[in-house]
């Protein structure tokens, strides 16, 4: 029997997770929870996805607008094995007792505090830790990007220390109330930024410091990393490790002309649904190694990078797949995580 999945919160992340769940063999998308009868609700219904309202007030708003809903969140929870919470940061924690009361396994997103779930999850680092858990938190987009790189390098060479500066996008493309419009903002204006702590939620042993600024762009985040490896490595060894790893795409500026997030997104517009780039992009020509010290730039498509990890989290916690490599390979194959934009 398929694992029945519901998605609470049908925004940037929720709609992508719902679409992904519907494509994975062994998973059944039972429905999504939408708070208001807007264009996103109409699109879900047009695609045959049952829409649920979070509560009675919201249900009435749907009825008033003449938009058909399948019931309330409570009814959805009665029909699923797993709920993926993709509500705004902090809202998931408020739903947690309701999920527990109904005996439904829950996946939370990176906007929640680590304590919300039994473990913070990142497929390339700790898939096994997720097996059989009742609740998991898939770490944020920035942390997922950092962890994919760090765990890949740790597996190949060992990682002693990481120092990273994050240049963060100000808002997602759909947003109309966030900024900055004309500034570079220290976010936060002290060190370390919370990203270091979030990485440590998965790798508690790691010596890591992060700093972050927010800039007026909506397309992607960019990170600059300095990594101290445990042993000396050549540049070609590092490139080979990154090339062989799942979900990491090397892009050479010299070979492709791509030296910006705008060009990455333009390439993805031609080749990807919604121009999603769930792979972590490492700018190949910036990879520089001296002894044990490695530096490089990487880019994160914040809207889509956590989607494969959410699918893996469902597979792990339900025991649908216990072998991390197989789970990751199959998720990527179905979702078209091909490591190429051509």
**Which residues participate in catalysis according to the annotation?**
141
| Contact call for residue 302 and ligand NAD (CB under 6 A) | yes
> Among positive and negative, which fits the CA dihedral 85, 102, 128, 136?
positive
| Spatial CA neighbour of 153 closest among 220, 248, 223 | 248
> Among positive and negative, which fits the CA dihedral 201, 184, 170, 147?
negative
**Helix 194-202 crosses helix 141-157 at what angle (to 10 degrees)?**
50
* Continuous segment of H or E residues that includes residue 304: none
Shortest distance, CB of residue 138 to ligand NAD, whole angstroms? 8
Contact residue for ligand NAD among 35, 105, 148, 168 (CB under 6 A)? 35
Using the minimum distance from each CB to ligand NAD, give the nearer residue, 197 or 255. Answer: 197
Using the minimum distance from each CB to ligand NAD, give the nearer residue, 141 or 249. Answer: 141
93-103 as b/e, with b when 16 or more CB fall inside 10 Å?
Answer: bebbeebeeee
| Contact call for residue 172 and ligand NAD (CB under 6 A) | yes
| Spatial CA neighbour of 18 closest among 328, 335, 275 | 335
Omega cis (within 30) before 313: no
| Contact call for residue 13 and ligand NAD (CB under 6 A) | yes
Among 10-18, 22-30, 226-234, 256-264, the segment contacting ligand NAD (CB under 6 A): 10-18
Shortest distance, CB of residue 235 to ligand NAD, whole angstroms? 31
Q: CB atoms < 10 A from the CB of 181, how many? A: 8
| Contact call for residue 188 and ligand NAD (CB under 6 A) | no
Site for ligand NAD in 57-96 (CB under 6 A): 86-89, 91
Q: How far apart are the first and last CA of the chain?
A: 37
Site for ligand NAD in 90-129 (CB under 6 A): 91, 109-112
Using the minimum distance from each CB to ligand NAD, give the nearer residue, 106 or 156. Answer: 106
Shortest distance, CB of residue 304 to ligand NAD, whole angstroms? 9
Using the minimum distance from each CB to ligand NAD, give the nearer residue, 112 or 284. Answer: 112
**Footprint of ligand NAD on this chain (CB under 6 A)?**
8-14, 33, 35, 54, 86-89, 91, 109-112, 140-141, 172, 302-303, 306
């Amino acid at each position: 029997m398929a694992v029945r999945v519901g998605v609470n919160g049908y925004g940037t992340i929720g709609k992508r997770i719902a679409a992904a769940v519907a494509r994975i063999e062994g998973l059944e998308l039972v429905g999504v929870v939408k708070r208001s009868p807007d264009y996103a609700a109409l699109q879900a219904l047009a695609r045959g996805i049952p829409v649920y309202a979070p509560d009675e007030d919201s249900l009435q708003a749907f009825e008033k607008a003449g938009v058909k809903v399948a019931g309330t969140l409570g009814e959805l929870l009665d029909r699923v094995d797993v709920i993926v919470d993709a509500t705004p940061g902090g809202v998931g924690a408020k739903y947690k007792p309701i999920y527990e009361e109904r005996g439904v396994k829950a996946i939370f997103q990176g906007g929640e505090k680590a304590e919300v779930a039994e473990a913070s999850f990142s497929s390339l680092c700790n898939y096994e830790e997720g097996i059989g858990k009742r609740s998991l938190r898939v770490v944020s987009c920035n942390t997922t990007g950092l962890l994919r790189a760090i765990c890949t390098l740790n597996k190949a060479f060992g990682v002693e220390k990481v120092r990273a500066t994050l240049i963060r996008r100000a808002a997602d493309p759909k947003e109309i109330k966030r900024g900055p419009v004309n500034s570079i903002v220290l976010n936060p204006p002290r060190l370390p930024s919370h990203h270091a702590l979030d990485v440590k939620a998965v790798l508690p042993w790691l010596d890591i410091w992060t700093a972050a600024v927010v800039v007026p762009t909506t397309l992607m985040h960019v990170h600059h990393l300095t990594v101290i490896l445990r042993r000396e490595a050549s540049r070609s060894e590092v490139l080979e490790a990154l090339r062989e790893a799942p979900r990491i795409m090397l892009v050479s500026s010299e070979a492709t002309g791509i030296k910006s997030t705008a060009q990455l997104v333009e390439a993805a517009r031609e080749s990807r649904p919604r121009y999603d780039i769930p792979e972590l992009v490492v700018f190949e020509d910036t990879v520089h190694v001296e002894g044990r010290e490695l530096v490089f730039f990487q880019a994160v498509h914040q809207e889509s990078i956590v989607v494969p990890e959410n699918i893996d989290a469902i597979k792990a916690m339900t025991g649908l797949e216990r072998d991390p490599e197989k789970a990751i390979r199959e998720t990527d194959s179905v979702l078209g995580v091909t490591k190429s934009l051509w």
